[in-house]
Structure 1
Amino acid sequence: MRILITGGTGLIGRHLCKALLQADHEITVLSRQPATVKEKCGATVQAIGSLDEWRRNQVFDAVINLAGEPIVDAAWSTKRRELLWQSRVTLTDALVQRINASNQKPAVLLSGSAVGYYGDGEEQVMDETSPAATDFGAALCVAWEQAALKAVPMGVRVCQLRTGLVLDRTGGILGKMRQPFKLGLGARLGGGHQWMSWVHIDDYVAMVLVLLHNTQASGAFNMTAPEPVTNRAFTEKLARALHRPALFVAPAWVLQLALGDRAYLLLGGQKVIPVGITALGYRFLHPKLEYALSDLVG
């Protein structure tokens, strides 16, 4: 298949490019720094720096839309909120417009979203049929998904990837947590009762490949492992995997003072289960957190 990927130089994108290249697919990555694409994604990967470079007669069989600025890394000023919106919703709108302008449209669009769609669900178990929340993160996800769905009337199969916390050896949440925990400075967040819906990077990539090839798959999919855990349990299991204690607590008021509006991303959570991908017959490689962490950091 000839596949266009946005966000291909990110954590998930790099792993996905590797898997797709191993399966002999032809990959093109849209990047603001196209000169870095071959180094990050693979020597045979082609790069474009703008959607304007997608010619009308250029054929992509599939588009995988993973682009989006990190949501936690900077304070949510008005300018930052606009950047988060532009990098997700505006870019997806532009991507769908390019799909519409192409002479031969891709068969499928796999487009990013996040479990933040559901807001802070407290103890409620949520699947793909659960309603969206109304906070900024949820509104961002809703608009992001709606932008992708504009491709459906064009005859394009659309899957929305409601992504949880992706666990990887070197990046993502483990990349931020690993060193403090190795130093014995691991801490639960607030009361630690908030739920964390996580997924091993290998499962994430494998699920994307299922959705890419299964022509019956469409709509929203929770890209999470089947057994979410509380922050308290996550903290204990990560500390155990690293053979370190985790004796500290980051008080909620400290996080709120330091992060402002973003604190709810750490102090709230979602108890999400992946009904959609399981119904397609997918069997998880790493369904339990302790074994996933053992594989990644043990």
Structure 2
Amino acid sequence: MRIAVTGSTGLIGSALVRSLLADGHEVVRLVRQHSRTGPQADGSVGVGWNPQRLEIDAAGLAGVEAAVNLAGAGVGDHRWTEGYRREIRDSRVMGTEVLAAALARLDTPPAVLVNASAVGFYGQTGAQVVDEDAPAGSDFLAGVCAEWEAAARPAEAAGVRVAYARTGLVLSKAGGAGARLFPLFRLGLGGRLGSGEQYWSLISAADEVAALRFLLETEGLSGPFNLAGPEPVTNRELTAALGRVLRRPTPFPVPESVLKAVLGDMAVEVAGSHRVVPKRLLEAGFRFEHTAVDDIVRAALKG
């Protein structure tokens, strides 16, 4: 298949592209730097786009049979100033609007678009278990996720099967939260964050890529799917697992007041709780490779 991918240099995007290329698929990377358009060293092809300017090389998408939209500014990369909140929102919503419209205008639109979203769609759920039937939350990230998904509707209207991948916390030493947590825990400086009772919906990078491909390749799957392991854990349980696997003590809890001072508004997410389960993914027949928290941690340490 000829598959277009946005966000192809991120933690998940780069792993997905490697997986697709290894299986003989043709990958079209949507890139912003003109110097990176054209044939790439790994065998993929770079096609230009600039969502902020509503620009995309539609001709480069000709013949695309599927698309995966993963583009978006990192939620944890900076403090949430008003400017960065706009970037978090615009990088997702505007990018999806541009891509969905371009796909819809193709003479032959692709069969499927897998559009990224996040478990933040549900807002803070506390200890309540939620699945895809739960409504949208009311906080900042919930609003972003709702707009993000709505922006893909032009592709749906053009007959494209659209699956929304509401991803949880992807644990990997290569990036995201894992890249920050693992060095501290290796030094014996790790500990629970805030109360430690908040739920984190974890998924290994391998299962994330496998789930994206499952949505991409399984006909008939559309609508929202939670990409999170079937066993959400508390931050306290994750902290204990990191200590066990790395064989390090975890003596240094970080109070919520310190999280707020260091992270600003983003501390709400770190200390907040998302107890989200992948009901529809399991019902569709997907099987996770890593379910127990220790196994997810071990997988993350392997890269």
Could you state the TM-score of these two structures normalised by the residue count of structure 1?
0.95
Show the counterpart of 1:193: 197
Show the counterpart of 2:172: 168
**What code does the residue aligned with 2:137 have?**
A
Distance in 1, Cα, partners of 2:215 & 2:224: 11
Please report how far the alpha carbon of residue 159 of structure 1 lies from its aligned counterpart in structure 2 after TM superposition: 0.4
Please report how far the alpha carbon of residue 288 of structure 1 lies from its aligned counterpart in structure 2 after TM superposition: 1.0
Please report how far the alpha carbon of residue 32 of structure 1 lies from its aligned counterpart in structure 2 after TM superposition: 2.0
Distance in 2, Cα, partners of 1:38 & 1:248: 49
Show the counterpart of 2:19: 19
Distance in 2, Cα, partners of 1:155 & 1:236: 47
Equivalent residues in 2 for 1:239-278 (5 A)?
Answer: 239-278=243-282
- Of the three residues 151, 154, 164, the one matched with 2:155 is 151
Distance in 2, Cα, partners of 1:262 & 1:295: 27
Q: Is 1:222 paired with 2:226? A: yes
Show the counterpart of 1:6: 6
Q: Residues 168, 63 of structure 1: CA spacing in aligned structure 2 closer, same or farther, 3 A cutoff?
A: same
- Unaligned runs of at least 5 residues, structure 2: 50-54
Structure 1 SS opposite 2:164? strand
* Paired residues of 1:105 and 1:156 also in contact (CA < 8 A): yes
**What code does the residue aligned with 2:70 have?**
L
Show the counterpart of 1:140: 144
Q: Is 1:74 paired with 2:78? A: yes
Structure 1 SS opposite 2:28? strand
Q: Is 1:31 paired with 2:35? A: no
Distance in 1, Cα, partners of 2:227 & 2:96: 19
Distance in 2, Cα, partners of 1:137 & 1:147: 15
Q: Residues 57, 202 of structure 1: CA spacing in aligned structure 2 closer, same or farther, 3 A cutoff?
A: closer
Structure 2 SS opposite 1:237? helix
Structure 1 SS opposite 2:59? coil
Equivalent pairs counted in the alignment come to 297
Q: Residues 253, 46 of structure 1: CA spacing in aligned structure 2 closer, same or farther, 3 A cutoff?
A: same
Q: Deviations over 1:168-216 (max 9, x none)?
A: 2322211111111000000111110000001011111111111111111
Please report how far the alpha carbon of residue 292 of structure 1 lies from its aligned counterpart in structure 2 after TM superposition: 2.0
Please report how far the alpha carbon of residue 36 of structure 1 lies from its aligned counterpart in structure 2 after TM superposition: 5.5
Structure 2 SS opposite 1:246? coil
- Of the three residues 285, 297, 301, the one matched with 1:297 is 301
Show the counterpart of 1:46: 45
* Paired residues of 1:68 and 1:84 also in contact (CA < 8 A): yes
* Paired residues of 1:69 and 1:83 also in contact (CA < 8 A): yes
Distance in 1, Cα, partners of 2:65 & 2:34: 21
Structure 1 SS opposite 2:67? strand
* Paired residues of 2:119 and 2:276 also in contact (CA < 8 A): yes
**What code does the residue aligned with 2:25 have?**
H
Distance in 1, Cα, partners of 2:91 & 2:61: 26
Distance in 2, Cα, partners of 1:57 & 1:49: 10
Could you state the TM-score of these two structures normalised by the residue count of structure 2?
0.94
Q: Is 1:114 paired with 2:114? A: no
Q: Residues 37, 205 of structure 1: CA spacing in aligned structure 2 closer, same or farther, 3 A cutoff?
A: farther
* Paired residues of 2:5 and 2:28 also in contact (CA < 8 A): yes
Q: Is 1:100 paired with 2:104? A: yes
Give % identity. 39
Q: Residues 95, 134 of structure 1: CA spacing in aligned structure 2 closer, same or farther, 3 A cutoff?
A: same
Structure 2 SS opposite 1:159? strand
* Paired residues of 1:241 and 1:297 also in contact (CA < 8 A): no
Please report how far the alpha carbon of residue 42 of structure 1 lies from its aligned counterpart in structure 2 after TM superposition: 5.5
Distance in 2, Cα, partners of 1:172 & 1:126: 24
**What code does the residue aligned with 1:9 have?**
T
Structure 2 SS opposite 1:81? helix
**What code does the residue aligned with 1:49 have?**
G
- Stretch of structure 1 that moved more, 287-296 or 231-240: 287-296
